[in-house]
Copies of this chain bind each other. A is one copy, B any other.
Amino acid sequence: MNLFWEKGFAGASMKQIELALDMRPGSIYATFGSKDGLFREALAAYAERGGVELREHLAGYSSVLDGLQGYLRRIAQQSKPGEATPSRACMIVKTLLEASNSNSAMAEQANTILDAVEQSLVQLLEQAKMQGELAADTDCARLARLFQAQLIGLRSFAQRETHPEHVTSLAEDMAATLDHYRVRH
Contact = CB atoms under 8 A, between A and B. Distances in A.
Interface string A87-105: 1010001101110111000
Q: Which of A8, A89, A107, A154 has the most CB of B within 10 A?
A: A8
A8 B99 CA distance: 9
A100 B158 CA distance: 11
Size bracket, chain A contacts: 35 or more
B145 A97 contact: no
Contacts of A174: 146, 149
- Number of copies of this chain in the oligomer? 2
Interface of A is mostly: helix
A97 B101 contact: no
Contacts of A33: none
A7 B107 CA distance: 13
B159 A96 contact: yes
Interface of A: 6-8, 10-11, 86-87, 89, 93-94, 96-98, 100-102, 107-108, 111, 114, 142-143, 145-146, 148-154, 156-157, 159-161, 166, 169-170, 173-174, 177, 180
